[in-house]
Amino acid sequence: MKDWSYDTAKDHGVAPVERFRSTKREAGLISTLTHMATMSAMVGFFRTFHRMRVVDRGRFPLKPPFVVCANHSSHFDAIILAAAMPPQARAVAYAVAAGDVFFTTATSSVLSSLLVNALPLWRKKVTTHALEELRERLQEGHTGLILFPEGARSRDGGPLKFKPGIGMIIAGTSVPVVPCHIEGAFESMPPGAKIPRPYKITVRVGEPLTFETAERSRAGWESVSMGIRASIAAMSPKPWPAAAVEDQKVNGG
């Protein structure tokens, strides 16, 4: 008989509260149930209050690993994408969220983890190491990620510069990236707003892309993020400016 192969949780041995602030956190029974319950409520909210519509929902993969990317202009965005997915995908999808916003205290860390299944990314010091960890996680095959290549919310609803970080995570892997376009989130809940306004929200799901042949170099990473940008831009009902324009903008917090 051959030995069994065990696949211990990545966060094994991390202290109880520290676990919620760790990029290694893997959701178990309780956090999966709590975040699925929260998300079911949010699906109901988006469908009624925002008349949310998902175009080409069937393009989401049902099994991990996968990455879902979109334009970013609202705190709603990550929840909108999770709500747009089929439940099987939602159960394994982690939203990569700003550590300096959602993980500042123990309470906020626990809530972000349990309610929306967020993973922290510390923006002030987004290191190759942190991105490498996400890359490894994806390759282990148990994880789906929701992330925003712009790295910050747009203050005018238009696109920001797509950063190369997404390329560092997936260049040279066979992990599918699902580009999505979110319309109406900025109008419903722009940065600074406290109460959502009942605008219509539409999520357009693009064909999954893979970047197996992309090089693991600056140029390769840029080509990945530009590829994703082009795919999202193509779905936008309002035409996006040329990518070079956003280089002038500063991506604020």
**Contacting positions for other proteins (CB under 8 A):** 4, 6-9, 12-16, 26, 28-29, 32, 91, 142
Coil/strand/helix, residue 54? strand
- Smallest distance from the beta carbon of 64 to other proteins, in angstroms? 10
Q: Which is nearer to other proteins, 14 or 243 (CB)?
A: 14
Please tell me what DSSP assigns to residue 22: -
Task: Compute the least distance from the CB of residue 9 to other proteins, in Å.
Answer: 4
Complex with other proteins: residue 11 or 215, whichever CB lies closer: 11
Looking at beta carbons only, is 91 or 121 nearer to other proteins? 91
Query: What's the min distance (Å) between Cβ of 141 and other proteins?
Result: 10
CA dihedral 37, 91, 114, 36 (to 10 degrees): 0
Instruction: Output 114 or 121, the one with its CB closest to other proteins.
Output: 114
DSSP assignment of 185-224 equals HHHHS-TT-SS------EEEEPPPB--TT--SSHHHHHHH
In whole angstroms, the minimum distance from the beta carbon of 204 to other proteins comes to: 30
Q: Which is nearer to other proteins, 6 or 248 (CB)?
A: 6
CA dist 107 and 206 (Å) reads 36
- Output the CA–CA distances (angstroms, integers) from residue 190 to 47, 83, 100, in the order listed: 19, 19, 19
Query: What's the token pair of residue 178?
Result: 């699902």
Closest distance to other proteins from the beta carbon of 22 (Å) = 11
